[in-house]
Structure 1
Amino acid sequence: TPRYCTAICCKNSGGPNNKDRKLSFCPFPLHNKDRLEKWLKNMKRDSWIPSKYQFLCSDHFTPDSLDIGWGICSLKQTTIPTIFSLPEDYQLLEWGQ
């Protein structure tokens, strides 16, 4: 099953057709409310609630926070995604709700 990154302005997806890049997809920390809130705040999607079938790609994490093997993303328990490239004038639209 292909996986898609849910970050705004990120077009990364994974699956059989995307073997050219070492890209991993990280599940949201749904069982850690404080950490989840930090993820969503950094993503500029504060009011959005991800499901267990949605992911962030490894491009949004610093290399030292990832432990990648076999395309599966293992994060340190304190890892927060910090790399997002939103346009300066980006206005959050209530999309996908």
Structure 2
Amino acid sequence: MSTCVFCKTKQSKYCGRSFHKFPVKDVLRLQQWLKEMKRKDWKPNRNSTLCSAHFTNDCFDRTGFLITLKKNSVPTIFDNPKSECSSCHRLREYGRGYSFFKFPLDEPDIMK
């Protein structure tokens, strides 16, 4: 089972995301991925993955049975990992064991 190294989403049949390994053998593309992630002093290994939430829709090849990344795709969608809880003001930091969720603004019954 894969886990996204950025948002810690775990791969399951219910998560609705695909998981993609870092291009560790393509040095130039790997540098682009790491630059977009903005993580200091972190290096991926051959099993490190990012989930599809960090890629735009045009990065995917959906013509076959499996969803795959196009050859030169680079992840560009990264939320600010240091956002703050609106209730307790705890900072969101990946790997700290806290989960953060967005308010369901499009579902008024739940928002009540």
Structure 1 match to 2:34: 40
CA distance 1:45–1:73, change in 2 (3 Å): farther
What stretches of structure 1 of length at least 5 have no aligned partner? Answer: 91-97
Task: Using the aligned pairs only, state the percent identity.
Answer: 40
1: CA distance, partners of 2:31 / 2:20: 16
Aligned match of 1:12: 9
**Hey, what does 2:104 align to over in structure 1?**
none
User: How far off its partner does 1:54 sit?
Assistant: 1.1
Identify unmatched segments of 5+ residues in structure 2: 85-90, 92-112
1:78 aligns with one of 55, 60, 72: 72
Q: TM-score, normalised by structure 2?
A: 0.63
What value does the CA root-mean-square deviation take over the aligned residues? 2.4
Larger radius of gyration: 2
Q: Larger relative CO (CA 8 A, sep 6+): 1 or 2?
A: 1
Q: Which residue does 2:45 correspond to in 1? A: 51
TM-score w.r.t. length of structure 1? 0.72
Q: Would you tell me which structure has more strand in proportion to its own residues?
A: 1
Question: Would you say the 8 A contact 1:58–1:73 is kept in 2?
Answer: no
Deviations 1:67-88 (A, max 9, x none): 3566x65211211100000136
Cα 1:22–1:88 shift into 2, 3 Å: closer
Once the two structures are superposed, residues 49-81 of structure 1 have per-residue CA deviations (whole angstroms, 9 ceiling, x without a partner) of 2111110001000011113566x6521121110
**Which residue is 1:62 aligned to?**
56
